[in-house]
Chains A and B, each alone.
Chain A
Amino acid sequence: MSRYDTTFANLKARGEIAFVPFAVAGDPDLTTSIDIFKTYIDNGADILEIGYPFSDPVADGPVNQRAAQRAIAAGLTHATFFKMVRALRAVSDIPIGLLLYANSVHFLGYRTFCRRAADAGVDSLLVADMPPEESDELLAAIKSTGLKSVFIVSELTPPKRAAYICSKISGFVYVVSRLGATGAQSRLPTQAARTLQRLQRITARPFVVGFGLSEPRHIAAVKFAGAQGAIVGSALVAQIEKNLSSKKAMLKTLGTMTGHYKHATR
């Protein structure tokens, strides 16, 4: 069984869904970044979503873009990134998903990137700007290295296309809760629930909802709508930015938030 299978099965048995916190690797620097992800783990994260920083992140809002810029400025490279994943894998067995941009994978070559990611302990890849039509080579590399594929489905995705996308997924279905780029919002649009209902008829893969979730009640709503997991990104990353001057305060805030989010999955 893959780490994802085990995680989702265990959560189901306990009547919970997965809480999936996100941060950009290397933000604000490598050591702090590792501590941030460890804080997520220690406070109840079920799965980690790690962003690989890219200079031109078209699917991200300003908060995550600034995080990527900080990480790049602090010197994150492919080599230090894989080292960081290794460090996390050494202390935890929860699934690790990557969220990244096509150029960052293409730059190393699809096979090389996937091999190094799998060796480091990564479980899945979601390339934000690579729809399944452009992913043949990547999917082959994902498969041969034992990784899992994740793709996005939105409220605009027509049913036939949703079925096609789901057929290319070996990990989970990433359901975006609204259109546009990443970024926290206080209201959770009702479209997410409808999208989930549509999808349940199409695939048996787990659904994880992301984009725009910022409050514990959003997670409760996502659970009620039938999802198996909820991703919180910008709301956490905003706290990293807000606490750049004090690492202690930063980790404390992130830990508390993670605890609250996790609580809402129960």
Chain B
Amino acid sequence: MQAIKGFYGEFGGQFVPETLIPALDELEAAFNEFKNSEKHLLELDFYMNNYVGRPTPVYFAKNLSAKYGVNIYLKREDLLHTGAHKINNTIGQALLTRYMNKKRIIAETGAGQHGVATATAAALLNLACDIFMGTVDMARQRPNVFRMNLLGARVVPVASGSKTLKDAVNEALRDWSKTVRNTHYVFGSALGPHPFPTIVRQFQSIIGVETRRQILEQAGKLPDEIAACVGGGSNAIGIFDAFLNDKKVRLTGVEAGGLGLHTAKHAARLTPSPRARIGILHGSRSFVLQDSHGQIATTHSISAGLDYSGVGPQHSYLNQIKRVQYTLATDRQAIDAFSALCEYEGIIPALESSHAVAYALKRAPRMGQRQILIVNLSGRGDKDIFHVADYKGIAL
């Protein structure tokens, strides 16, 4: 698929300052050795099974399925240690860091999920850890800031620009360009310059590998459709990857529709709108929300994990070749789906994942009774209860 190094069709690349190029070359070489080394893969497996909590179940959501007259299954990444799929990637990249003999990892975080997962991996593998976080996000996500501190990480406040996720990425890149000799940057999603989109996909692809095996065991056939939310795109590519060649399996990515496409308050990069254009941000060429002069637009979503102006380059490509369709769910639809999953299945989902659930509930009535729809439940919603209460006007 990658005709030119690091490209998915016309998307991807290595758009970074020169000082980072040697580090990316080193990383690519190390990753290629790592992923072919039996010894290191066994160690990764060990941590996945004994520390992270893999494999996660594929659960037949019988109450929702009965209500909607279709077979809805949930891939339970919400059951993982630290509460989301993010840890699949951070443990992998922390092992890779050790393999490269580097002693420090840094990461960006928005809501704090990736920050917590990175701090966890750093504690586990004895690495120094600095997490860059916008000051606006720090104020919104104080419990996660405290969690990272408990885990021994330093949280570096980022007060530049919009003081949110994209600025945290800028600051992490700046730090990295100065500290590359002893530091690895653990990108949190299938974003950034090559080889990050490939590395993150590799570490997340376990989701799809398990799902494929589990649904064949349970249902005796492949699903008709799989839905996942798309922030940077790591949980989505993680579950899609094992099905990309199964042309009959429909794959759907769900972006944050925020207050709706008719407003500027959304984070839908792959759903056509005047602000969604091909651009270059944080190391790769992909669809990016921009204003009418080519400055990067700020975004809005009720879920911090989907609130980002860019999207992983492979998703831009899968959209272009129409292998995956991308749609959106609004804040309100996500909240409704959040409540539905709580009430019908006894599962409190992350607001990010609730976007995929919202799509499933919209889609279900148009599917046949025998059909199977799998939703990637990327994370649990404990972190979100305050936002949901706030949204519903309830004081906790």
Number of interface residues of A (CB under 8 A): 40
> Which stretch of A1-9, A13-21, A123-131, A235-243 is in the interface?
A123-131
Question: Which B40-79 residues have C-beta < 8 A from chain A?
Answer: none
A56-B170, A56-B281, A69-B161 given; A154·B18 CB < 8 A? yes
CB closest residue in chain A, given B309:
A56
Inter-chain contacts of A62 with B (CB < 8 A): 160
The answer to whether B283 and A129 have CB atoms under 8 Å apart is: yes
B272 within 8 A of A: no
Inter-chain contacts of B16 with A (CB < 8 A): 58, 129, 131
Question: Which A75-125 residues have C-beta < 8 A from chain B?
Answer: 77-78, 101-104, 106-108
The answer to whether A179 and B19 have CB atoms under 8 Å apart is: yes
The answer to whether B161 and A58 have CB atoms under 8 Å apart is: no
Most chain A C-beta atoms within 10 Å of own C-beta, residue among B174, B283, B285: B174
Chain A, 209-237, contact with B by CB distance < 8 Å: what is the 0/1 string? 00000000000000000000000000000
A202 within 8 A of B: no
**Measured CA separation A88–B152 after assembly (Å):** 53
The answer to whether B280 and A129 have CB atoms under 8 Å apart is: yes
Q: Chain B's nearest CB lies how many Å from the CB of A255?
A: 29
> Which stretch of B29-37, B254-262, B291-299, B358-366 is in the interface?
B291-299
A57-B170, A61-B174 given; A161·B160 CB < 8 A? no
Q: Chain A's nearest CB lies how many Å from the CB of B391?
A: 29
Inter-chain contacts of B14 with A (CB < 8 A): 131, 133-134
A56-B282, A103-B281, A152-B18 given; A78·B170 CB < 8 A? no
Would you list the 7 A-B pairs with minimal beta carbon distance, nearest first?
Answer: A180-B178, A107-B294, A102-B280, A152-B18, A55-B295, A181-B174, A59-B17
A265 within 8 A of B: no
B interface, size bucket: 35 or more
Inter-chain contacts of B285 with A (CB < 8 A): 106
CB closest residue in chain B, given A81:
B293
**Measured CA separation A157–B234 after assembly (Å):** 31
The answer to whether B19 and A154 have CB atoms under 8 Å apart is: yes
**Measured CA separation A151–B280 after assembly (Å):** 18
The answer to whether B18 and A131 have CB atoms under 8 Å apart is: yes
Q: Chain A's nearest CB lies how many Å from the CB of B102?
A: 15
The answer to whether A107 and B283 have CB atoms under 8 Å apart is: no
CB closest residue in chain B, given A154:
B19
Binding site for A on B (CB under 8 A): 5, 13-19, 21-23, 160-161, 166-167, 170, 173-175, 177-180, 277-283, 285, 288, 290, 293-296
15 CB < 8 A contacts A-B: A59-B177, A106-B294, A108-B294, A130-B15, A131-B14, A131-B15, A133-B5, A133-B14, A151-B18, A152-B18, A157-B21, A157-B22, A161-B22, A165-B18, A179-B177
CB closest residue in chain B, given A127:
B15
Most chain A C-beta atoms within 10 Å of own C-beta, residue among B13, B170, B277: B170
Inter-chain contacts of B295 with A (CB < 8 A): 54-55, 72
The answer to whether B19 and A176 have CB atoms under 8 Å apart is: yes
A107-B294, A151-B18 given; 13 more Cβ-contact pairs under 8 Å? A55-B295, A56-B166, A56-B296, A57-B170, A78-B293, A103-B290, A106-B278, A129-B17, A133-B14, A153-B18, A154-B19, A156-B180, A161-B22
Most chain A C-beta atoms within 10 Å of own C-beta, residue among B15, B17, B280, B281: B17
**Measured CA separation A62–B159 after assembly (Å):** 10
The answer to whether B17 and A65 have CB atoms under 8 Å apart is: no
Inter-chain contacts of B175 with A (CB < 8 A): 180
CB closest residue in chain B, given A65:
B160
The answer to whether A106 and B21 have CB atoms under 8 Å apart is: no
Inter-chain contacts of A128 with B (CB < 8 A): 17
CB closest residue in chain B, given A107:
B294
**Measured CA separation A129–B14 after assembly (Å):** 8
The answer to whether B19 and A77 have CB atoms under 8 Å apart is: no
Chain A, 126-153, contact with B by CB distance < 8 Å: what is the 0/1 string? 0011110110000000000000000111
Question: Which A147-176 residues have C-beta < 8 A from chain B?
Answer: 151-154, 156-158, 161, 165, 176
Chain A, 29-40, contact with B by CB distance < 8 Å: what is the 0/1 string? 000000000000
**Measured CA separation A165–B18 after assembly (Å):** 10
The answer to whether A161 and B15 have CB atoms under 8 Å apart is: no
**Measured CA separation A204–B17 after assembly (Å):** 23
**Measured CA separation A58–B19 after assembly (Å):** 12
The answer to whether A156 and B19 have CB atoms under 8 Å apart is: yes
**Measured CA separation A131–B18 after assembly (Å):** 6
CB closest residue in chain A, given B177:
A180
**Measured CA separation A77–B292 after assembly (Å):** 9
